[in-house]
Structure 1
Amino acid sequence: MTERALLERELWRILETVHAVVYFVPEAKAAYGALGLRGYWMGYFASRSAALGTPSPRLVTALFYGFAPRMVERALPDAWAFADRTRVLETRLELARSALARHAGAGLGDTADLLTSVLARLDVAGRPLAAAHLDVPAPAEPLSRIWHAATVLREYRGDGHVAELVAARVDGVECHRLHGGSLVGQQREFRGWTEEEWADAGGRLRARGLLDDAGENTHRGQELRAEIEQGTDRSAAVALRTLDDAQLGVLRDALGPVAGALAAAGAVPYPNAMGVARPA
Structure 2
Amino acid sequence: MWSLFEPVHAVTYFAPDALAAFEEAALRGFWRGYFAGRSAPLGAVPAGPVIAAFYGFAPRMVTRALPDVWTRITPEAALAARLEGSRRVLLTVDGDLTEVASLLRAAAEAADLHGRVLGAANAMLPWPEDPAGVLWQAATVLREHRGDGHLAALLVEGLDGAECNVWRVALLDGAGREFYQPARGWTDEEWATAIDRLRGRGWLDAEGKATGRAREAYTSVERTTDALAATPWRALGETATARCAELLRPIAVQASALLRHPNPIGLQPLS
Alignment gaps of 5+ in structure 1: 1-10
Give the C-alpha shift of residue 41 in structure 1.
0.5
Q: How does 1:120-199 map to 2 (within 5 A)?
A: 120-180=109-169, 181=172, 182-199=175-192
Give the C-alpha shift of residue 51 in structure 1.
0.6
In 2, the alpha carbon distance for the partners of 1:145 and 1:163 equals: 27
Partner of 2:40: 50
Q: How does 1:201-220 map to 2 (within 5 A)?
A: 201-220=194-213
Give the C-alpha shift of residue 94 in structure 1.
0.9
Alignment gaps of 5+ in structure 2: none
Counterpart residue identity of residue 231, structure 1: T
**SS of structure 2 residue aligned to 1:102:** coil
| C-alpha contact 1:177 1:201 (8 A) present in aligned 2 | yes
> What TM-score results when the alignment is normalised by the length of structure 1?
0.91
Which of 240, 255, 263 is 1:262 aligned to?
255
The one-character-per-residue Cα deviations of 1:235-264 (angstroms, maximum 9, x if unpaired) are: 111221112222111111111111111223
| C-alpha contact 2:202 2:211 (8 A) present in aligned 1 | yes
The one-character-per-residue Cα deviations of 1:72-102 (angstroms, maximum 9, x if unpaired) are: 1111101111112111111101111111111
The one-character-per-residue Cα deviations of 1:122-160 (angstroms, maximum 9, x if unpaired) are: 220110100000111010101110110000000000000
Give the C-alpha shift of residue 121 in structure 1.
2.8
| C-alpha contact 1:160 1:236 (8 A) present in aligned 2 | yes
Counterpart residue identity of residue 80, structure 2: E
Aligned residues between the structures: 267
Change (3 A) 1:184 1:231: farther
| C-alpha contact 1:119 1:149 (8 A) present in aligned 2 | yes
Which of 257, 272, 278 is 2:263 aligned to?
272
In 2, the alpha carbon distance for the partners of 1:114 and 1:169 equals: 36
> What TM-score results when the alignment is normalised by the length of structure 2?
0.94
| C-alpha contact 2:262 2:268 (8 A) present in aligned 1 | yes
In 1, the alpha carbon distance for the partners of 2:222 and 2:79 equals: 30
In 2, the alpha carbon distance for the partners of 1:275 and 1:208 equals: 25
Partner of 2:94: 104
In 1, the alpha carbon distance for the partners of 2:197 and 2:134 equals: 43
| C-alpha contact 2:41 2:121 (8 A) present in aligned 1 | yes
| C-alpha contact 1:19 1:154 (8 A) present in aligned 2 | yes
Q: How does 1:78-89 map to 2 (within 5 A)?
A: 78-89=68-79
Give the C-alpha shift of residue 59 in structure 1.
0.7
Partner of 1:246: 239
- Relative to structure 2, which stretch is displaced further, 246-255 or 45-54? 246-255
Partner of 2:64: 74
Give the C-alpha shift of residue 279 in structure 1.
4.1
| C-alpha contact 1:17 1:279 (8 A) present in aligned 2 | no
The one-character-per-residue Cα deviations of 1:181-235 (angstroms, maximum 9, x if unpaired) are: 3424421111000000001101100000001122211010111111111110111
| C-alpha contact 2:203 2:210 (8 A) present in aligned 1 | yes
In 2, the alpha carbon distance for the partners of 1:121 and 1:263 equals: 26
Counterpart residue identity of residue 96, structure 1: S
The one-character-per-residue Cα deviations of 1:19-50 (angstroms, maximum 9, x if unpaired) are: 00000012444432332324111110000000
The one-character-per-residue Cα deviations of 1:51-81 (angstroms, maximum 9, x if unpaired) are: 1111111110100110011111111101111
Counterpart residue identity of residue 166, structure 2: R
Of structures 1 and 2, the one with the larger relative CO (CA 8 A, separation 6+) is: 1
**SS of structure 1 residue aligned to 2:144:** helix
- C-alpha RMSD of the superposition: 1.4
Counterpart residue identity of residue 77, structure 1: P
